[in-house]
A and B are shown apart, each in its own frame.
Chain A
Amino acid sequence: MFKSNRREPEEINSSSMADIAFLLLVFFLVTTTISMDKGLNLVLPPAGEELEVNRKNITNILINESGKVLFDEKPAKAREISRLVSDKLRKNDKMIFSVQTHSRTKYSDYILILDQLKIAKASRISIANPDQ
């Protein structure tokens, strides 16, 4: 009739803990997207700020709607821009490059020129509005 008072020590079975943790781990592994965001950085000038720049310190780069480039009033090939820009920077390290596009210029043509400027390590880049 006696029930023994000695019981097994009570414990939560932790053998499935690893499985639960694995499940959560797999969920986060699947949802994690490794940052693939890369691109060209540019800092825009603040609004309403207009600086008077000496004409000698500015080089205009115009891109028309078919992607043709006019560098310093002379037609140039897009691939030559980085060389021309580094030539200009060697003569004058304060040179500002003003990129001006037509409103129907393709974005890829603009990125191509911006890339060329970055290759030549031009740090002073200005983006002119198409309607100006």
Chain B
Amino acid sequence: MKVIRKTSTKKGISTSSMPDIIFMLLIFFMVTTVMREFEGLKVLLPTARTIEKLESKRHTTYIWASKDGLVNIDDRIIQGQGLRNIIYKKISSDPKLTISLKSDEDAQMKVITDIHTEMRNAQALKLNYSALTKID
């Protein structure tokens, strides 16, 4: 009598849990992603040594100031009093708001002090001068 034994074992790594792993990674990236809303102006940031990280990207609003004296917030060029109103609206909806000032290194201080004044009038006092790390 001939006995046929069926003892063929499957070889290879099981890929059945692959989608779960991928989904886990996916959810991680979905949660951490903050979509970039605005492009801003073209600026060359200054450099500094004592650089600190921004606390949270979600509680940050960016203001761009170019060397030509243009000020941009939310992808709009703002002049004069307009900035105060926009900052005021933002700080009312998010009191933890920090303003990150992305200014060109050749910008004149008049533009910067005008932004300071507008921020102070809008009661937004947390400011971060965006800068790159100085290497020397």
Interface residues of chain A, those whose CB is within 8 Å of chain B, are 14, 17-18, 21-22, 24-25, 28-29, 31-33, 35, 37-47, 101-108, 110-112, 114-115, 118-119, 127, 129-130
When A42-B129, A44-B120 are in contact, do A103 and B113 touch as well, CB less than 8 Å? yes
Taking chain B's interface residues, is the majority helix, strand, or loop, or is none over half, making it mixed? Answer: mixed
Interface residues of chain B, those whose CB is within 8 Å of chain A, are 15, 18-19, 22-23, 25-26, 29-30, 32-36, 46-54, 57, 60, 65, 100-101, 103-113, 116-117, 119-121, 123, 125-134
How many contacts between A and B, using CB within 8 angstroms?
Answer: 149
CB atoms of B130 and A130 under 8 A apart: no
Partner of A102, one of B29, B109, B111: B109
Min distance, Cβ B56 to any Cβ of chain A, angstroms: 9
Q: Which residues of A contact B116 (CB under 8 A)?
A: 44, 127, 129
CB atoms of B100 and A37 under 8 A apart: yes
Q: Which residues of B contact A18 (CB under 8 A)?
A: 15, 18-19, 22
